[in-house]
């Protein structure tokens, strides 16, 4: 038997030929442009491919690209030319509303400040900023944009993304249950184009997106808080939280990989949050607590809150700690512990308590610590420069606790804070050799350039700042934070007197504070401004709020007249019927009130967010059974994990 006739040689030769054939097919698929599944997001896909920038047909020889009309709700208007001019260094910044410049505009955003700082230090070159920060955009949307904008000859990418990861619902069940070994095998297979082709053929999926457990999102962001029921749709969900953290890390890794393939340098940023200046957006107890334990917890919490208000900080801390021994996961408890500790001069412990409050917040609108840890770890492992903005904000804050000194609200920096972010990004990019500015030139020009930028803030018009406070107020109102919204809107109203929405929002807040007379005065002003309001016609909303104010002020007959006028204009919806029922009840016309409530209930069928108010209305006229039924329906629709306990607490609040 010759050497080549031996069985093991023949098997080896066959395997070699087979492997060569597979490699040849893989190479052919690579050359033909087949993208591997590894380049796709296993957690979320997208429907629609609306571009962010479109060519301006009137731009002449050199094409000018402008923000697409369909994207104007989420991005700053801007334009740039292709090809770039001689000596232009183009920096594209990605992220959410902080990158956008919220609550202001691109003019005072950190992307614009980065270009200005570099321009001041290197006046012989043009540093151009393209701001791709989108309102409510999360990392999975940012990654999609990065690929699209690579066609516009970027010289540097900057990513500041992580505050919006919980705004949109996605599905992670099943994907998180995979054993780590299987997950590793899947990751290897997904890097092969041949496997990708076979997967798509066998699953019958066009465009490479699996239907199974992948969430499909549209071009338009639909935050959970904007949906009917808003804050009540958020609950403690460890599976979802774990999935979001995993997805965020995967997105960072994919961004790094994508940038290497595109040949675009990248700077990642950590994300600071307002820890001491903003209460948690929603708190929730740990599941399974008995009513007796909850009562003891409430006793300690109430005692601590009273002591804190009276300046007895040590007593407050003792009471709060007693409550924490029963349930330490209630976010507001940790926040108030932070207040007490800060007042006692215990900065390190206060910072830990404030951070714990952020981490326990049921509506996580501030980046989790796990996100910043992921940014630092991915940057270190992949050799990508990280601008540690979060650490810098801590260094510049009293006691190392960022608060109102650097933030306008929960995450959006002051105008000075935007410059701080830019300074950290420039320092990081210069040290990594990612910009043309020489490393030894930056220390010499840094302070004069930053001082020049800060001096420019004095020239910012009062109205520009006030309009920012209006936006802050809208954000807080959107999240159900009325005290913070009132403070910001009041600042805006001191300067801006031609936007009806500001007094209207202030009136709504006064109604929640049981101040109907103040609300009615503000609504009267809003009504005068409404016809000329440049934003939107608020007339129907003002009429409804006025009717509610009149009911609360003890003028139900006048409220009925207001509602009759609204009905004549075609505005008699479920909310108007509910108000009509309240006014009729106040006038002692019980049968009519019940009839109107029934009509409102029929009209509002399927509108979850309307059910609590309807339940309260039934309760107020003594109809306890339908009130309980409606509120339980609301709890079940919004996915409350403890409907029995929540209903019990709600009944106690009504009494």
**pLDDT digit string, tens, across residues 378-403:** 999 999 999 999 999 999 999 999 99
- pLDDT value at residue 533: 65
What does DSSP say about strands 88-95 and 126-133: parallel, antiparallel, or unpaired?
Answer: parallel
- pLDDT mean over 620-636: 85
- 3-state secondary structure (DSSP) of residue 366: coil
More confident residue, 306 or 439: 306
More confident residue, 601 or 54: 54
Cβ neighbours of 581 (radius 10 Å): 27
pLDDT at position 125 over 50: yes
Range 321-329 contact pairs with CB under 8 angstroms and sequence separation of 24 or more? 323/297, 323/298, 323/299, 326/289, 326/293, 326/296, 326/297, 326/300, 327/285, 327/286, 327/289, 327/293, 327/297, 329/236, 329/284, 329/285, 329/286, 329/360
Backbone angles phi, psi at 9, to 5 degrees: -70, -40
- pLDDT value at residue 575: 85
pLDDT at position 131 over 60: yes
pLDDT 10s digits, 439-496: 889 999 999 999 999 999 999 999 999 999 999 999 899 888 899 999 999 999 999 9
- pLDDT value at residue 99: 98
pLDDT at position 134 over 90: yes
Interhelix angle 539-552/556-568, rounded to 10 degrees, is 160
pLDDT at position 534 over 70: no
Backbone angles phi, psi at 142, to 5 degrees: -60, -45
- pLDDT value at residue 566: 82
pLDDT at position 100 over 80: yes
What does DSSP say about strands 79-82 and 63-67: parallel, antiparallel, or unpaired?
Answer: antiparallel
The C-alpha atoms of residue 422 and residue 237 are separated, in whole angstroms, by 35
pTM, rounded to two decimals: 0.85
- pLDDT value at residue 637: 79
Q: In 283-388, where do the E strands start and end?
A: 386-387
SS3 of 596-643: the string is HHHHHHHHCCCCHHHHHHHHHHHHHCCCHHHHHHHHHHHHHHCCCCCH
- pLDDT value at residue 38: 47
- pLDDT mean over 525-537: 80
Average pLDDT across the chain, whole number: 86
- pLDDT mean over 333-346: 98
Residue 339 half-sphere exposure toward CB, CA atoms < 13 A: 23
pLDDT above 90 as % of the chain:
62
pLDDT at position 218 over 70: no
pLDDT at position 80 over 90: yes
DSSP at 285: P
What is the pLDDT confidence band of residue 212, given thresholds at 50, 70 and 90? very low
More confident residue, 235 or 606: 235
pLDDT at position 168 over 60: yes
pLDDT above 70 as % of the chain:
81
pLDDT at position 65 over 60: yes
Asked if 629 contacts 635 with a C-beta cutoff of 8 angstroms, the reply is: no
pLDDT 10s digits, 585-613: 999 998 998 898 888 888 877 677 778 88
- pLDDT value at residue 622: 84
More confident residue, 49 or 554: 554
- pLDDT value at residue 511: 95
- pLDDT value at residue 177: 46
- pLDDT mean over 230-235: 74
Question: Of the candidates 235, 240, 135, 132, which has an alpha carbon nearest to the alpha carbon of residue 478?
Answer: 135
């Amino acid at each position: 038997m010759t050497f080549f006739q031996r069985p093991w040689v023949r098997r080896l030769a066959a395997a070699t030929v087979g492997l060569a054939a597979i490699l040849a097919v893989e190479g052919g698929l690579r050359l033909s442009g087949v993208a591997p599944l590894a380049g796709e997001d296993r957690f979320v896909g997208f429907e629609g491919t609306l571009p962010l920038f479109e060519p301006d047909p009137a731009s002449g020889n050199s094409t000018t690209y402008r923000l697409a009309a369909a994207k104007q709700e989420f991005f700053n208007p801007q334009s740039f030319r292709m090809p770039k001019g001689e000596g232009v260094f183009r920096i594209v910044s990605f992220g959410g509303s902080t990158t956008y410049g919220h609550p202001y505009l691109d003019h005072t955003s950190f992307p614009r400040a980065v270009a200005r700082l570099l321009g001041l230090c290197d006046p012989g070159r043009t540093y151009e900023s393209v701001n791709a920060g989108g309102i409510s955009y999360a990392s999975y949307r940012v990654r999609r944009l990065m690929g699209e904008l690579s066609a516009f000859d970027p010289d540097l990418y900057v990513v500041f993304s992580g505050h919006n990861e919980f705004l949109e619902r996605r599905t992670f069940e099943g994907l998180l249950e995979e054993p780590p070994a299987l997950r590793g095998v899947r990751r290897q297979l997904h890097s092969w184009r041949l496997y990708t082709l076979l997967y798509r053929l066998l699953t019958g999926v066009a465009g490479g997106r699996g239907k199974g457990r992948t969430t499909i999102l549209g071009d338009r962001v639909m935050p959970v808080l904007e949906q009917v029921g808003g804050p009540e749709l958020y609950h403690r969900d460890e599976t979802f939280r774990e999935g979001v953290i995993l997805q965020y890390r995967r997105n960072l890794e994919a961004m790094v990989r994508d940038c290497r393939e595109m040949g675009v340098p990248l700077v990642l940023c950590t994300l600071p949050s307002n820890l001491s200046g903003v209460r948690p957006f929603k708190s929730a107890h740990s599941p399974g607590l008995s009513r007796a334990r909850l009562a003891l917890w409430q006793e300690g919490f109430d005692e601590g809150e009273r002591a804190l208000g009276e300046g007895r900080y040590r007593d407050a801390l003792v009471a709060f700690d007693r409550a924490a021994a029963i349930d330490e996961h209630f976010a507001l408890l940790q926040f108030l512990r932070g207040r007490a500790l800060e007042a006692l001069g215990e900065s390190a412990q206060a910072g830990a308590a404030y951070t714990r409050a952020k981490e326990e917040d049921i509506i996580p609108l501030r980046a989790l610590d796990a996100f910043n840890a992921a940014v630092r770890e991915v940057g270190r492992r992949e050799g990508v420069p990280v601008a540690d903005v979060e650490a810098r904000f801590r260094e510049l804050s009293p006691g190392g606790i960022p608060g109102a000194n650097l933030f306008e609200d929960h995450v959006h920096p002051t105008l000075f804070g935007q410059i701080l972010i830019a300074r950290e990004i420039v320092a990081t990019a210069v040290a990594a050799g990612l910009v043309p500015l020489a490393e030894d030139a930056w220390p010499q020009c840094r302070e004069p350039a930053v001082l020049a930028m800060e001096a420019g803030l004095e020239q910012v018009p009062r109205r520009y700042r006030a309009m920012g406070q209006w936006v802050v107020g809208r954000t807080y109102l959107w999240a159900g934070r009325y005290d913070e919204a009132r403070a910001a809107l009041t600042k805006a109203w001191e300067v801006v007197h031609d936007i009806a929405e500001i007094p209207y929002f202030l009136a709504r807040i006064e109604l929640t504070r049981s101040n109907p007379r103040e609300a009615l005065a503000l609504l009267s002003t809003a009504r005068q401004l409404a016809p000329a309001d440049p934003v939107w016609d608020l007339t129907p909303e003002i009429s409804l709020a006025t009717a509610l104010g009149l009911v609360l002020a003890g003028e139900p007959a006048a409220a009925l007249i207001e509602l009759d006028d609204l009905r004549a204009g075609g505005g008699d919806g479920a909310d108007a019927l509910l108000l009509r029922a309240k006014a009729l009840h106040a006038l002692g016309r019980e049968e009519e009130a019940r009839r109107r409530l029934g009509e409102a209930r029929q009209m509002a069928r399927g509108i979850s967010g309307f059910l609590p108010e309807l339940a309260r209305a039934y309760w107020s006229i003594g109809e306890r059974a339908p009130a309980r039924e409606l509120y339980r329906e609301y709890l079940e629709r919004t996915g409350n994990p403890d409907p029995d306990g929540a209903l019990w607490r709600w009944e106690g609040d009504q009494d």
